[in-house]
Amino acid sequence: MVEILRPTFTAPTVEALPKREDILAGIQLVAFDVDGTLTEHHGQLEESVKTALNELGARGLNMCIISNAYGDRADSLREMLGDPFDMPVFTPKSVALLGERPSKHRKPSPAMLLHAAKVHGVSLTGVLMVGDQIAKDVVSANRAGAKSLLLPRRGKGDDLKVRIFQRPPEALVRMALGIRFG
């Protein structure tokens, strides 16, 4: 049960990823969370992150966004990540079948990762989910059979519910599992 919480890899920043051959070996698709991972909470992409994404793209890696965002936030992600990244954005609404409640596909459900792998035509063993939350990003990757990269939260902001109900238990889980960002 505890193993579902353990990330495959950790790193100090998303900018470190292009240089981490140990993480990228065998990876064909890199799926990114946005808030707290690529940007601060509801923030914009920093130049250093854009550079890292360009480096990953230059390696020929497929990239996409896996986000629990809805409505305007999902639309703003598509706009923010336009050219040169042209990354598809997968949200609960984008993977829900007609008549299904999109909320059942929110992370930690593996549905968005499964859909992204199918769209890109890659095996789940070649998928890396990059995120800042164990309970959502790491668990969804582990449930899907993909690899996960846990990063410390980018920036200081956070959704109120995440800050109150998720971050404190996650800190305890990281400590119990000996997870360090190095």
| Mean pLDDT on 87-108 | 92
Domain boundaries, the chain: 2-177
Tracing tokens 């914009």 back to the chain, one arrives at 44
pLDDT in tens, 38-84: 999 888 889 999 999 999 999 999 999 999 987 677 677 777 777 66
What local confidence, expressed as pLDDT, does residue 15 receive? 97
Let me know if domain 2-177 sits in CATH 3.40.50.1000.
yes
Q: What's the confidence (pLDDT) of residue 84?
A: 66
Q: Rounded to whole angstroms, how far apart are CA atoms 113 and 127? A: 8
pLDDT, tens digit (0-9, with 9 covering 90-100), for 4-31: 999 999 999 999 999 999 999 999 999 9
Beta bridge partners of 48: none
Arithmetic mean of pLDDT, 138-148: 98
Residue 39 · residue 49 · CB < 8 Å: yes
Quick one: pLDDT at residue 51? 93
Render pLDDT for 98-120 as a digit per residue (tens, 0 to 9): 999 999 999 999 999 999 999 99
